[in-house]
Chains A and B, each alone.
Chain A
Amino acid sequence: QVQLVQSGAEVKKPGASVKVSCKASGYTFTSYGISWVRQAPGQGLEWMGWISAYNGNTNYAQKLQGRVTMTTDTSTSTAYMELRSLRSDDTAVYYCARGPNCSGGSCYPIPIDYWGQGTLVTVSS
């Protein structure tokens, strides 16, 4: 069965960086992208971007360009999301999720279907 297991909660100071991991199992890792979605306390879902596990191509949300980097390690079927220059409004639960479909050199808009359990990142001085 498809599973996405994320790393544990983090507490960071403003200006620091955080790197969250997401280990995938139960499917062919390189056939899909991994999307990252965050949810601030009491707020809705915000799409952050995705990375193709096939070739490392990325597509980031405009508002996070320059602060976020998504990477993958195909040898361990693990995706990573690093966010830099953290601010208090980056406090949120960060989710990884499977999608889009990225078999071959292109990615296709399939539904984001399986989600990780979420990682709480708290930014506080």
Chain B
Amino acid sequence: QSVLTQPPSASGTPGQRVTISCSGSSSNIGSNTVNWYQQLPGTAPKLLIYSNNQRPSGVPDRFSGSKSGTSASLAISGLQSEDEADYYCAAWDDSLKGVFGGGTKLTVL
């Protein structure tokens, strides 16, 4: 059972906008920033969004993040086939222990 809660799956057609939610508590998301990772099959996770809504260099602006209270969301607009991957939310808790969501498998139909 993961500390952060994500839907196990999401899907969309090319060009659509999809969102993935992430729910936590006051001791993690409620008091620290949220990061999102994209994991393509057989590869290490890649930082996609950090500090709730910041994109590292090289990440397309189709990807955006937001946070409100103890929940966060990842939005992907203009969905493309190469976006098919697993997505994980993550945060530090008040004891500086890392917590992850269970992951959301995104399918591009």
Contacts and interface: CB of A to CB of B under 8 A. Distances in A.
15 contacts: A44-B2, A44-B100, A44-B102, A50-B98, A59-B95, A61-B97, A95-B45, A107-B96, A111-B33, A111-B35, A112-B47, A113-B56, A114-B47, A115-B44, A116-B44
Interface of B: 2, 32-33, 35, 37, 39, 44-47, 50-51, 56, 88, 90, 92, 95-103
A57 B44 CA distance: 26
B99 to A, nearest CB: 7
A3 B56 CA distance: 16
A93 B39 CA distance: 13
9 closest cross-chain pairs (CB), A and B: A47-B98, A109-B92, A111-B50, A115-B44, A44-B103, A111-B35, A45-B100, A44-B102, A113-B47
Contacts, number: 58
A45 B88 contact: yes
- Interface-central residue, A61, A109, A117, A118, by most chain B CB under 10 Å: A109
Contacts of A116: 44
Contact of B90 (A59, A112, A114): A112
A21 interface: no
Interface in A51-88: 59, 61
Nearest to A48: B98
Contacts of A107: 96
Nearest to A110: B50
- Interface-central residue, A61, A100, A115, by most chain B CB under 10 Å: A115
A91 interface: no
Given A37-B100, A59-B96, A95-B44, 15 more contacts: A44-B101, A44-B103, A45-B37, A47-B97, A47-B98, A49-B97, A95-B45, A109-B32, A109-B92, A111-B35, A113-B47, A113-B56, A114-B47, A117-B44, A118-B44
A31 to B, nearest CB: 16
Contacts of A100: 92, 96
